[in-house]
Amino acid sequence: MTSKRIGHRAARRVLVVGPVPPPLHGVTVMTAALLDALHDSAWQVVRVDTSDHRSIDNIGRFDLGNVVFALRHAARFTRTLLRTRPDIVYLPLSQGVAGFTRDAVFLVAARLSAAQVVVHAHGALYQEFYRRMPAAVRGLMRFSMGRVRMIIVLAEAQRRQFEGWAPRRARIEVIPNGVRDEWSTGIPRRLPQEGGTVLFLGNLLPQKGFLDVLDAVPMVLRMVPGARFVFAGRPAWNEAMTALVSATLREPNVEQSTTFAGVVGPAERRTLLEGADVLVFPPQRNEGQGLVALEAMSAGLPLVVTASGGLAETVHDDVEAIIVPKQDPQAVAAAVTRLLQDSGLRARMGAAARERFESEYTLVRWESRMIEAFEAAAEPASGCR
């Protein structure tokens, strides 16, 4: 590893703890993006790779294999911390028992150094997670967070996620996600057409709103017979879920109007976004800030979403998106039907979505914000609130 220098002063050093793809999900994608940004900056990067390239189903599971995995990561982190003596330790923060237990080991070990600790909250359920823990565990959580200098959240409303258990000295920085601009030379040209294509892109889970969208399909087809629906993502169905999906597919015209594309890579995602007329993503539980919504905005697509987590601040109702209530297939169907029946509305919302993406959610803008946050975190403590 080579050391970069600024003038006569050694470059500041950051120890990045976190996973990279595969599998593809918000934390792995954004950790990989951060590593790219830092390697192109004046920061010297050292790393503890916590990637688990097994199925996404393994995330957050308490089993012997994961315990051994976590202990190895903790030992590697401690050795790296003491050997490299970084200015900053960066850690994506889990909001589940298994993941946070591992993170707490990292946070406590960080007390062995003078490094400033920056944690990145990619979700929106941290306060709920803290409150449902027993008193002894909440005490451990407060102790492990005691040296945290900065907490990065995805939306203004998420500042409240750490009330009561983050240190008062911790600076909370709002940095929305950003994604690569795949259409910098022009968004796909979408012609007015009969029907239209509705895309759901994400893991096919109830909490992501998959069943709400599927339940909306027959209702939309009664109003827009030529509509087509594409579900792209990993099926995670138990026997009961499979029965629900099968029952819906047996309704008139649903099966022939519905495609399940499975897990898709970057090139396939781009093709699906180019071919879609509407992106629908109505998560039931608080979403951090779904990257799929930003990808759709970059492609100039109108959205149908719920006001879940950071999505409530990402888009505005009837400007870039139609915002619907959670767990309401009828509202999803009405919103999708409205967009499919009005090409002018689709064009207006799609253009507004693209404009908002360019101003707020490009990967370049995100990288700049992250580097600025690291610079602020590395400043003397008097700079914190």
Establish whether the linkage from the previous residue to 218 is cis, with ω within 30° of 0. no
| 27 closest CA partner among 46, 44, 52 | 52
Domain 5-178+363-383 and domain 196-360 have a common topology: yes
Looking at the DSSP bridge assignments, the partners of residue 45 are: 14
β-partners of residue 90 are 16, 118
Residues 302-314: tens digit of each pLDDT: 999 999 999 999 9
Domain borders along the chain are: 5-178+363-383, 196-360
**pLDDT given for residue 210 in this prediction:** 96
Instruction: Answer yes or no: is pLDDT of 104 > 60.
Output: yes
Structural element, H or E, at residue 329: helix 329-340
**268 to each of 180, 197, 261, 304, how far by Cα in Å?**
15, 15, 9, 21
DSSP 191: -
How would CATH label the architecture of 196-360? 3-Layer(aba) Sandwich (3.40)
At 231-268, the pLDDT tens digits run 999 987 889 999 999 999 999 999 999 999 999 999 99
Instruction: List the one residue out of 244, 245, 238, 324 whose CA is nearest residue 281.
Output: 324
CA distances (Å), origin 27, targets 22, 94, 139 = 11, 10, 26
Nearest C-alpha neighbor of 344 from the set 295, 293, 302, 282: 302
pLDDT in tens, 205-222: 999 999 999 999 999 999
Q: What was the pLDDT predicted at 64? A: 57
Handedness of CA 202, 359, 349, 284 (dihedral sign): positive
Average pLDDT in the chain: 91
Residue 55 has pLDDT above 70, yes or no: no
Confidence of residue 6 (pLDDT cuts 50, 70, 90): very low
pLDDT digits (tens, 9 = 90+) for 124-179: 999 999 999 999 999 999 999 999 999 999 999 999 999 999 999 999 999 999 99
* Residues in contact with 109: Cβ distance below 8 Å, sequence separation at least 6, in sequence order: 74, 77, 78, 81
pLDDT the model gives residue 8: 39
Q: Show the tokens assigned to 368.
A: 């700049």
Question: Which CATH superfamily is 5-178+363-383 part of?
Answer: Glycogen Phosphorylase B; (3.40.50.2000)
Inter-residue contact 13 to 41 (CB < 8 Å) = no
Q: What is the C-alpha separation between 286 and 311, in angstroms, rounded?
A: 9
Rounded to 10 deg, the angle between the 329-340 and 343-360 helix axes is: 100
E strands present in the chain: 5-6, 9-10, 13-18, 44-49, 88-93, 116-121, 148-153, 171-174, 196-201, 227-232, 258-262, 278-281, 303-306, 321-324
In whole angstroms, give the CA distance from residue 39 to residue 33: 10
Is residue 183 over pLDDT 60? yes
